[in-house]
Amino acid sequence: MSNKMWGGRFASSPDAIMEEINASIGFDRHLYAQDIAASKAHAQMLAQKGIIAKDDAERIAHGLDTILSEIAAGTFPFKRELEDIHMNVEARLAELIGPSAGRLHTARSRNDQVATDFKLWVRDAIDELDEALKGYQRALADRAFDHAATVMPGFTHLQTAQPVTFGHHLLAYVEMAARDRGRLRDARARLNESPLGSGALAGTSFPIDREMTARALGFDRPTANSLDAVSDRDFVLEALSAASIAAVHLSRFAEEIVIWTSPLVGFIKLSDKFTTGSSMMPQKRNPDAAELVRAKTGRIVGALNGLLMVMKGLPLAYQKDMQEDKEGAMDAFSALSLSVSAMTGMVRDMEPDVALMKKAAGQGYATATDLADWLVQRLGIPFREAHHLTGKIVARASESALPLHRLPLAAMQAIEPGITEDVFAVLSVDRSVKSRTSLGGTAPANVRKQAKAWLKRLEKGGM
Q: Nearest distance from residue 90's CB to ligand ARG, in Å?
A: 12
In the complex, least distance from residue 332 CB atom to ligand ARG, rounded to whole angstroms: 17
Cβ burial, residue 58 (10 Å; 0-12/13-18/19+): middle
- 156, β-bridge pairs: 159
Classify 161 as helix, strand or coil.
strand
The residue (of 234 and 430) whose beta carbon lies closer to ligand ARG is: 234
297 binds ligand ARG (CB under 6 A): no
| Residue 84 interacts with ligand ARG (CB under 6 A): yes or no | yes
Ranges within 364-403 binding ligand ARG (CB under 6 A): none
Count of residues that bind ligand ARG according to CB under 6 A: 10
Specify whether 157 is catalytic. Answer: yes
Residue 388 is among the residues annotated as catalytic for this protein: no
Choosing from 12, 157, 205, 438, the catalytic residue is 157
- Give the largest Cα separation in the chain, rounded: 101
Which position among 28, 56, 180, 416 is part of the footprint of ligand ARG (CB under 6 A)? 28
Out of 2, 271, 278, 398, the active site residue is: 278
Nearer residue to ligand ARG within complex by CB, 113 or 339: 113
Binding mask 315-334 for ligand ARG (x = CB under 6 A): ---x-x-xx-----------
CA torsion 68-74-80-86 (nearest 10°) is: 10
Among 24, 137, 194, 223, binds ligand ARG (CB under 6 A): 24
Nearest distance, CB of residue 50 and ligand ARG, angstroms: 28
Tell me whether residue 253 or residue 318 sits nearer to ligand ARG (CB atom).
318
CA pair distance 41, 55, nearest whole angstrom: 15
Please report, as residue ranges, which positions from 90 to 119 form the binding site for ligand ARG (by CB under 6 A): 110-111, 114
The residues, any chain, with a CB within 8 Å of residue 65's CB and separated by 6 or more, are none
DSSP H or E run through 392:
helix 383-399
Closest approach of ligand ARG to the CB of residue 12, in Å: 19
Residues 406, 410, 412: CA angle, nearest 5 degrees? 70
Q: How far is the CB of 253 from ligand ARG (least distance, A)?
A: 35
> What number of other Cβ atoms are within 10 A of residue 399's Cβ?
9
Measured CA to CA in angstroms, residue 434 lies from 75, 80, 132, 149, 409 at distances of: 63, 66, 33, 9, 23
- Residue 317 preceded by cis peptide, ω within 30: yes
What positions carry a catalytic annotation? 157, 278
What is the binding site for ligand ARG (CB under 6 A)? 24, 28, 84, 110-111, 114, 318, 320, 322-323
